Chains A and B, each alone.
Chain A
Amino acid sequence: MTTRVAVVGAGIIGLGIAWRCVQRGLDVTVYDAGEDGASTVAAGMLAPTSEIQAGEEALQGLLVDSNRRWPGFAAELEKATGVELGYRDEGTLIVALTDDDLREVRRLAGWYERAGQPVSPLTARQLREREPLLSPRVRGGAHAPQDRQVDPRRLLTALRHAVGDRIVPRKVTDLADVDADRTVVAAGIGTTTLTGLPVRPVKGQTVRLKAPAPPVRHVIRGYARSRPVYLVPRHDGELVVGATEEERGADTTVTAGGVLDLLRPAAELLPGIVEYPVTEILAGLRPGTPDNAPILGALKDNLIIAAGHYRNGVLLTPVTADLVAELVATGVPPQEIEPFTPDREALWT
């Protein structure tokens, strides 16, 4: 008899796992609560280099692993569904507005290098040769060639196509109500109420602008008078400016201060954006964990967790889908998920 698998959560993580499980011949049902999750707000940077913080070496290994899987994952998903994902690999330009910002960028560059993710330093002139619309005040920066981007909304659409009518509109409030041989909880911030695991909402506001033509080719990660900001260009002229990071519980109000904190540094780095229409201002809730790394693995027999991807859900979709589907299908945890299991110390201290 075919193993019946329930996936609770129809965001990119849940759907990615479901797609891989279907490919392995399992009988899959995805429960969709019908709520917009973090993936509709996310910008879709695939940034194994510039997303890393101190003390997150194990996480970085997983980010790099998933980044390596992205080209194949994107090609396969596009081929299977006919949905173009907006996958691009120009890399990130790290841009500093002032001398102080440049010192910070150089410090980060040294750190990326030591972490095995080298970036190439660029002078102000070299930056503006690549992106002529950058402010002439820009002092310098670097190119992170490993970084890529994808449009998370297209990714979500493609994965929904791929999983098809196995998606059932139903909000699961108690795992006891789920009838399956194996259950995967991929419910983002909803994972806490279902399992008791420590996943907290970390609010992020993003602004979407619509340029008549893309003003830049690269993802821009900027520092403008110590304020960090990123700008992610899409081929159709959409420019995603993000993102705040706020510990405000499940609150999703957009605020003047949040928008100001994004648009001010963005306009200092790329002055032309002030002309563009604002198409959306959204606040999403990242599923954060105490050590900023995802929770991957079995919580108990036949109950598997794939949640808490925090700032890196889009980047981590391929590796999560592959490894969790393997665990679901074989019952044996792949060794790559060992640092991220639900019983690790950081989740319980």
Chain B
Amino acid sequence: MGSDTFVIAGEELESRLILGTGGVTNHAVLEEAIRESGTALVTVALRRIDPAAPGTLLDVLEKAGVRILPNTAGCYTAAEAVKLAHLAREAFATSWIKLEVIGDEDTLLPDAVELVSAAQTLVDDGFTVLPYTTDDPVLARRLADVGCAAVMPLGAPIGSGMGIRNPYNIALIREAVSVPVILDAGIGTASDAALAMELGCDGVLLASAVTRAERPGEMAAAMRHAVIAGRLAYRAGRIARRLHATASSPVEGMPTW
């Protein structure tokens, strides 16, 4: 079956699980969660951290040897998001940006119009743009068309832990775009992450499911296994769903007496 590498914008990542840091204050717990998750890419909100300050969780990420993916969490307009992305590029010396432009405070759903506008600007400015988007296949295609390096549809609203509310749309997005699809937001537990991978997603991004779990390290390990299991199942080719049973052993040749 050959190798199964996970590549974004020409860069290979060693894990298909991307971890968010929102909700963590305990650096020792975060360090354990990163280790147990096996992640190679961790996203950080520039709004919540001053990269120049000593002793922040950035030190934890550096020691863990993971790549940092700055995000524009907390932005409500394309203009704010673009400005923050430029600040992030300066501060973190990376042109990768997880683009979030939120349209509504209570649901934290993306604002599609502002999102495409910001994505276009940032692609033109030379960024590798990973946009957080709704589970709309048409919007996903638009984002891919303007040059985003991946699309990151939600399974359910951020922090809701509601899982994948519309698996059908996620499967459609997988067909609609050729860039990597990363399920972002809504993961509550391991089976949600496995389902995302079984639907054909190339990766899963999650934060609260681990950082707010009672034992983050254990949940991080569960997510690592879930993503691996889901990916293997997707590639292995599942059997068809049938209404009636099919015996797993043939009935021909059964001894008679």
Contacts and interface: CB of A to CB of B under 8 A. Distances in A.
A54 B219 CA distance: 12
B10 interface: no
Interface of A: 53-56, 111, 192, 198-202, 225-226, 245-251, 288, 290-292, 346, 349
Contact of A53 (B26, B50, B54): B26
Which 7 residue pairs are nearest across A and B when measured between Cβ atoms?
A: A249-B53, A200-B55, A291-B28, A290-B27, A247-B56, A248-B50, A346-B28
Number of chain B interface residues as a range: 20 to 34
A205 to B, nearest CB: 13
A290 B29 CA distance: 9
Given A290-B28, A291-B28, A247 B214 contact: no
A96 B167 CA distance: 32
Contacts of B57: 247
A202 B26 CA distance: 12
A248 B49 contact: yes
A247 B28 contact: no
B147 interface: no
Interface of B: 25-29, 31-32, 48-50, 52-57, 60, 63, 106, 159, 213-217
Nearest to B216: A54
Given A248-B49, A251-B50, A290-B28, A200 B214 contact: no
B25 to A, nearest CB: 6
A245 B25 contact: yes
- Contact residues of A: prevailing secondary structure: loop
30 contacts: A53-B29, A54-B214, A54-B215, A54-B216, A55-B26, A55-B32, A192-B55, A200-B54, A200-B55, A201-B53, A201-B55, A225-B106, A247-B48, A247-B49, A247-B53, A248-B53, A249-B50, A250-B53, A251-B53, A288-B25, A288-B55, A290-B27, A290-B28, A290-B31, A291-B26, A291-B27, A291-B28, A292-B25, A292-B28, A349-B31
A55 B36 CA distance: 14
A198 B28 CA distance: 12
B54 A249 contact: yes
B210 to A, nearest CB: 10
B74 to A, nearest CB: 8
B52 A249 contact: yes
Contacts of A251: 50, 53
